[in-house]
């Protein structure tokens, strides 16, 4: 039988959806209630204020949609742009490719800047386009902050620097689905006009909440946007914000309570500490990969991701077999190689509510799988490299006794 429950606990190490903390599960374990009662607006008000903190914005306006990151993408585009508007969009992997596909299907004029998979956004090409765009025909720059297909993180502050250098008014739209709450993200400081994330990534919630944050400039752009929109219309939300009821349609109540618990956990640890933890786990994973004698798909240190590592396998090994064997034999979920890197890489997700011991268990499992498929790994090599690093970089935590 190909599909059956394996013994023991399932080990989830894909780059989203991620493990859900027990506190969040308990918070969501509740019955439905009337979202027009005083309780849900009161809860929503605190959530809207607190989600601004994870974007690091004081001036942004957040919107929480019962959707996925794909819906959040659509919301960002249709509320700020009109059909035919020129967009510069960077293609660096599967998820940036999907966003570009959406942009084209929504009838925007998409100017695609493509890089080899494993590389970051080509900002030299962007600089050239901005310098030549004297008439400001470019209305928006769309960029994925963290491309999970290849484990590449882009420098958003560098994009803002270019826009400012050329005094270009284009909107900056950023996909932070697998970065916000895990990687350093500064919406106000970097001049991001629309940022978005999904609940199933670093927030460690189930899939189903797309969270979008819009700058004052982005809100101003809604006044001239001619894109069709209904479900994702920010103006509908803004009307209900003024009324104090917040929801133009039925929200996902259980997810709202889960979000409250998730944010409480993040703030208890400290957002900067959460980001530092992801940096430690990312570095430990990369050291393990080096100890195995394998390479990271990410081609330069400046692009490395601290939420996912895409591991390149030798030509004689199909990475899909590694992922299948992990699930079937060890009850371990690893990420498949997607599209251009299918069969060439497998991905280790290390984001969300995750600690050092959990990661080391995953790395031990990967070593056994590599041995199973015939790769001459030295068992314990990656675990030793990762644990040695972590032993010297785990922060002091006050005693709970």
Residues 244 and 187 both lie in one domain: yes
Residues 260 and 364 both lie in one domain: no
Q: What mean pLDDT do residues 379-393 have?
A: 96
The answer to whether residues 69 and 227 touch, using CB atoms and an 8 Å cutoff, is no
Known binding positions: 347
Rounded CA gap, 203 and 219, in Å?
25
Last residue of a domain, one of 234, 267, 300: 267
Known binding positions for substrate: 347
Residues 304 and 257 both lie in one domain: no
Q: What's the burial of 397, exposed, middle or buried (CB within 10 Å: 0-12/13-18/19+)?
A: exposed
Strand-pair category, 332-334 with 11-13: parallel
pLDDT tens per residue across span 158-182? 999 999 999 999 999 999 999 999 9
Residue 4 has pLDDT above 80, yes or no: no
Residue 1 has pLDDT above 60, yes or no: no
Tell me what percent of the residues of the chain surpass a pLDDT of 90: 96
- The per-residue pLDDT for 7 is 78
Would residue 30 count as lying in a domain? yes
- The per-residue pLDDT for 401 is 40
Residues 68 and 144 both lie in one domain: yes
Mean confidence (pLDDT) of the chain: 96
CATH code, domain carrying 148 = 3.40.640.10
Q: What's the burial of 348, exposed, middle or buried (CB within 10 Å: 0-12/13-18/19+)?
A: buried
- The per-residue pLDDT for 136 is 98
The answer to whether residues 215 and 192 touch, using CB atoms and an 8 Å cutoff, is yes
- The per-residue pLDDT for 396 is 61
- The per-residue pLDDT for 8 is 82
Would residue 6 count as lying in a domain? no
Residues 258 and 294 both lie in one domain: no
Last residue of a domain, one of 203, 233, 267: 267
Residue 202 has pLDDT above 60, yes or no: yes
Last residue of a domain, one of 227, 252, 267: 267
Residues 160 and 187 both lie in one domain: yes
Q: What mean pLDDT do residues 105-125 have?
A: 98
Residues 362 and 328 both lie in one domain: yes
pLDDT tens per residue across span 125-138? 999 999 999 999 99
Q: For residue 170, which of 125, 124, 133, 209 has the smallest C-alpha distance?
A: 133
pLDDT tens per residue across span 42-60? 999 999 999 999 999 999 9
Tell me what percent of the residues of the chain surpass a pLDDT of 70: 97
Would residue 68 count as lying in a domain? yes
Residues 165 and 292 both lie in one domain: no
Would residue 400 count as lying in a domain? no
- The per-residue pLDDT for 2 is 60
Name the pTM for this structure.
Answer: 0.96
- Full domain range(s) for residue 198: 22-267
Compute the Cα dihedral for 212, 218, 219, 224 and give only its sign: negative
Per DSSP, what are the bridge partners of residue 65?
210
Q: Where are the alpha helices (DSSP H) in 66-155?
A: 69-78, 94-105, 123-132
The 3-state DSSP class for residue 174 equals strand
CATH code, domain carrying 296 = 3.90.1150.10
Per-residue pLDDT band for 375 (boundaries 50, 70, 90) equals very high
How many domains are there within the chain? Answer: 2
Peptide bond connecting 40 to the previous residue in cis, omega within 30 degrees of 0: no
Residues 179 and 283 both lie in one domain: no
Residue given tokens 């994925």 in the structure block: 144
Would residue 399 count as lying in a domain? no
Would residue 398 count as lying in a domain? no
Residues 259 and 277 both lie in one domain: no
Length of the chain: 401
CB-based contacts of 133: which residues, under 8 Å, 6+ apart? Answer: 166, 168
Residue 242 CB neighbour total at 10 angstroms? 9
pLDDT tens per residue across span 5-34? 667 889 999 999 999 999 999 999 999 999
Residues 206 and 277 both lie in one domain: no
Would residue 1 count as lying in a domain? no
- The per-residue pLDDT for 397 is 58
pLDDT tens per residue across span 266-319? 999 999 999 999 999 999 999 999 999 999 999 999 999 999 999 999 999 999
Residues 316 and 239 both lie in one domain: no
246 Ramachandran zone, left/alpha/beta (phi>0; psi -120 to 50): left
Would residue 362 count as lying in a domain? yes
């Amino acid at each position: 039988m190909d599909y059956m429950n394996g013994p023991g606990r399932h080990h989830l190490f894909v780059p989203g959806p991620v493990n859900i903390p027990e506190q969040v599960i308990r918070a969501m374990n509740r019955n439905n209630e009337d979202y027009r009662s005083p309780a849900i607006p009161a809860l929503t008000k605190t959530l809207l204020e607190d989600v601004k903190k994870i974007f690091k914005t004081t001036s942004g306006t957040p919107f929480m949609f019962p959707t996925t990151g794909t819906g959040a993408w659509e919301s960002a585009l249709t509320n700020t742009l009109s059909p035919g508007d020129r967009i510069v969009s960077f293609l660096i992997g599967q998820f940036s490719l999907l966003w570009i596909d959406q942009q084209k299907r929504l009838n925007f004029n998409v100017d695609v800047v493509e890089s080899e998979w494993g590389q970051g956004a080509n900002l030299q090409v962007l600089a050239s386009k901005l310098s030549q765009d004297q008439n400001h025909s470019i209305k928006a720059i769309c960029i994925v902050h963290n491309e999970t297909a290849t484990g590449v993180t882009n420098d958003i502050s560098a994009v803002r620097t270019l826009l400012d250098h050329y005094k270009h008014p284009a909107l900056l739209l950023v996909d932070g689905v697998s970065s916000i709450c895990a990687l350093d993200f500064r919406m106000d400081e970097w001049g991001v006009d629309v940022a978005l994330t999904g609940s199933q990534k670093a927030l460690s919630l189930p899939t189903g909440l797309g969270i979008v944050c819009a700058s004052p400039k982005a809100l101003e752009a809604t006044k001239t946007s001619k894109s069709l929109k209904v479900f994702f219309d920010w103006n509908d939300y803004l009307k209900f914000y003024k009324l104090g009821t917040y929801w133009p349609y039925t929200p996902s109540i259980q997810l709202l309570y889960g979000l409250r618990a998730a944010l409480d956990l993040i703030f208890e640890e400290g957002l900067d500490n959460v980001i530092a933890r992801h940096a430690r786990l990312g570095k430990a994973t990369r050291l393990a990969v080096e100890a195995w004698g394998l390479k990271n798909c990410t081609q330069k240190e400046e692009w490395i991701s601290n939420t996912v590592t895409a591991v390149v396998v030798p030509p004689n090994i199909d990475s899909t077999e590694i992922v299948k064997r992990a699930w079937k034999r060890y009850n371990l979920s690893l990420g498949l190689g997607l599209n251009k890197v299918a069969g060439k890489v497998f991905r280790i997700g290390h984001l969300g509510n995750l600690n050092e011991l959990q990661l080391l268990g995953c790395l031990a499992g990967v070593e056994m799988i590599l041995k199973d498929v015939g790769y001459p790994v030295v068992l314990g090599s990656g675990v030793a490299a990762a644990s040695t690093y972590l032993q010297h970089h785990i922060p002091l935590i006050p005693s709970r006794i």
